[in-house]
């Protein structure tokens, strides 16, 4: 009996040893799994939030318009016989776009031309006879005015026939076609819209108290979103309306856009208007901001021991000044924010800062 006790004790010790070994192996496997699932170290570039002197601005909503633009239609109603253009096509001034069925107009014109030719010959003959006192002055006048009436009728029919043809009044780009062959086209109905995209303008209204700051020649900045990314454009004021709207006490301003890019007539843009003297504001590079419908944020870099950690931080933004944007709330001067490499980041990731390379 006494001999069996050491054997049992040894078995128990071996059992406990196996349990501890299994536990250690499982912990090692879990640690390895956590290491494999952890986000790798991300290389980013960064910049500090810093004070800058900017000119405070208010904003207005402007609408893009073409310097030349028109909804093309005909003064004459009729059935469309042929269409000689496609949607989105670039056309030249005078190019034929559409023809209506002229009906009896060509025949009436030929008849009128023949009558005008005869009336002209009769007037010339009457003048020769009158020169030898063969007819009275009244008869000569009837012959002359008869020729004028006949030629006027020819001109009228030529104009009526010309009104059955739609031509491009200027060179530009056509919009979407609104009609089809065989369709009855009422007088004045738009067949297609023509715009000249080379010279775009923007119209916007400003309160009367800002009138002293908006004068012809003043340079303005426009903002428009292209997807989630904002883009800026430069415009120059070319005219200010001479009448204040009684309904809202505002002046309408027109500015010429330089390098219009993806802008199209009818689009809305945000117009930045200078309002007061320059002021000191906290700014960050605009590329650091992630714009989202639920709120704008930046990746703020914070020290955690010897490491840098990226933390998604909501911010409230102000005016855009060049490549920088004003931060109203969310950051302090000296805070470092990620300016490139955000696409690879998750909240809480460990990062390495390298401003010597361009990151995408």
Instruction: Give the residue-averaged pLDDT of 222-248.
Output: 82
Confidence tier at 165 by pLDDT (50, 70, 90): very high
Residue 286 near residue 230 (C-beta atoms within 8 A): yes
Confidence tier at 68 by pLDDT (50, 70, 90): confident
Measured over the CA atoms of residue 88, residue 90, residue 94 and residue 96, the dihedral's sign is negative
Q: Answer with the residue of higher pLDDT: 228 or 153.
A: 153
In sequence order, which residues have a C-beta less than 8 Å from that of residue 234 and are 6 or more positions away?
Answer: 219, 220, 221, 222, 257, 258, 259
Task: Quote the CA–CA distance of 248 and 252 in Å, as a whole number.
Answer: 11
Instruction: Give the residue-averaged pLDDT of 74-98.
Output: 93
The per-residue pLDDT for range 138-149, each reduced to its tens digit, is 998 999 999 999
Q: DSSP code of 148?
A: H
HEC readout, 63-123: EEEECCEEEECCCCCEEEEEECCCCCCEECCCCEEEEECCCCHHHHHHHHHHHHHHHHHHH
Residue 31: pLDDT over 60: no
The per-residue pLDDT for range 255-296, each reduced to its tens digit, is 999 887 788 888 899 888 877 667 888 999 999 998 887 889
Confidence tier at 85 by pLDDT (50, 70, 90): very high
pLDDT the model gives residue 353: 87
pLDDT the model gives residue 11: 63
CATH of 42-55+280-353, one of 2.40.10.120, 3.40.50.720, 3.50.50.60, 2.40.420.20: 2.40.420.20
Q: What is the mean pLDDT of the chain?
A: 85
Instruction: Give the residue-averaged pLDDT of 48-76.
Output: 86
pLDDT the model gives residue 157: 93
pLDDT the model gives residue 9: 59
pLDDT the model gives residue 323: 84
Residue 231: pLDDT over 60: yes
Task: Quote the CA–CA distance of 287 and 293 in Å, as a whole number.
Answer: 17
218 to 40, 235, 305: CA distances (angstroms): 50, 8, 52
Q: Please report, for the chain, the start and end positions of each structural domain, with discontinuous segments joined by +.
A: 1-38, 42-55+280-353, 58-67+199-275, 102-163
What is the topology classification, in CATH, of domain 58-67+199-275? Elongation Factor Tu (Ef-tu); domain 3 (2.40.30)
Place of tokens 């309306």: 241
Q: Which of 2-11, 92-101, 192-201 has the lowest mean pLDDT?
A: 2-11
pLDDT the model gives residue 228: 56
pLDDT the model gives residue 161: 92
Confidence tier at 110 by pLDDT (50, 70, 90): very high
| Residue closest to 327 by CA, chosen among 285, 273, 279 | 285
Residue 27: pLDDT over 60: yes
| Residue closest to 208 by CA, chosen among 250, 245, 246 | 250
pLDDT the model gives residue 198: 77
* CB-based burial, 145-176: b 16+ in 10 Å, e otherwise: ebbeebbebbeebeeebebbbbebeeebbbbe
What is the topology classification, in CATH, of domain 102-163? Helix Hairpins (1.10.287)
In sequence order, which residues have a C-beta less than 8 Å from that of residue 230 and are 6 or more positions away?
Answer: 223, 224, 286, 291, 320
**Could you tell me the pTM of the whole model?**
0.53
How many Cβ atoms from other residues are within 10 Å of residue 108's Cβ?
17
Residue 53: pLDDT over 60: yes
pLDDT the model gives residue 358: 57
Backbone dihedral region of 338: left (phi > 0), alpha (psi from -120 to 50 degrees) or beta?
beta
The per-residue pLDDT for range 173-212, each reduced to its tens digit, is 999 999 999 999 999 999 999 988 778 899 999 888 887 8
């Amino acid at each position: 009996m006494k001999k069996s006790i050491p054997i049992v004790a040894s078995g128990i010790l071996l059992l406990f040893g196996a349990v501890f070994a299994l536990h250690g192996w499982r912990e090692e496997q879990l640690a390895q799994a956590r290491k494999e699932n952890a986000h790798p170290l991300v290389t980013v570039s960064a910049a500090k939030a810093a004070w800058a002197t900017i000119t405070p601005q208010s904003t207005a909503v402007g609408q893009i318009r073409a310097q030349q633009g028109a909804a093309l239609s005909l003064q004459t109603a009729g059935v469309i016989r042929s269409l000689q253009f496609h949607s989105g096509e670039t056309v030249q001034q005078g190019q034929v776009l559409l023809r209506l069925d002229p009906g009896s107009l060509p025949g009436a014109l030929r008849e009128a031309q023949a009558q005008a030719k005869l009336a002209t010959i009769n007037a010339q003959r009457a003048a020769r006879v009158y020169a030898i006192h063969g007819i009275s002055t009244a008869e000569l006048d009837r012959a002359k005015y008869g020729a004028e009436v006949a030629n006027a009728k020819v001109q009228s029919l030529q104009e009526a026939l010309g009104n059955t043809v739609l031509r491009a009044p200027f060179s530009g780009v056509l919009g979407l076609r609104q009609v089809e062959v065989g369709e009855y086209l009422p007088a004045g109905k738009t067949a297609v819209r023509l715009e000249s995209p080379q010279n775009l303008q923007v119209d916007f209204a400003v309160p009367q108290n800002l009138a002293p700051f908006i004068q012809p020649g003043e340079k303005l900045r426009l903002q428009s979103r292209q997807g989630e990314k904002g883009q800026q454009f430069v415009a120059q004021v070319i005219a200010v309306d001479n009448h204040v709207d009684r309904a809202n006490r505002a002046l309408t301003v027109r500015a010429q856009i330089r390098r219009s890019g993806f802008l199209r007539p009818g689009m809305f843009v945000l117009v930045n208007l200078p309002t007061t003297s320059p002021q000191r504001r906290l700014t960050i590079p605009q590329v650091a901001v992630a714009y989202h419908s639920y709120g704008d944020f930046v990746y703020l870099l914070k020290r955690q021991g010897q490491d840098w950690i990226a933390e998604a931080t909501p911010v409230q933004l102000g005016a855009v000044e060049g490549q920088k944007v004003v931060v109203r709330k969310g950051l302090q001067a000296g805070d470092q924010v990620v300016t490139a490499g955000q696409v690879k980041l998750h909240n809480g990731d460990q990062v390495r800062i390298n401003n010597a390379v361009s990151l995408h």
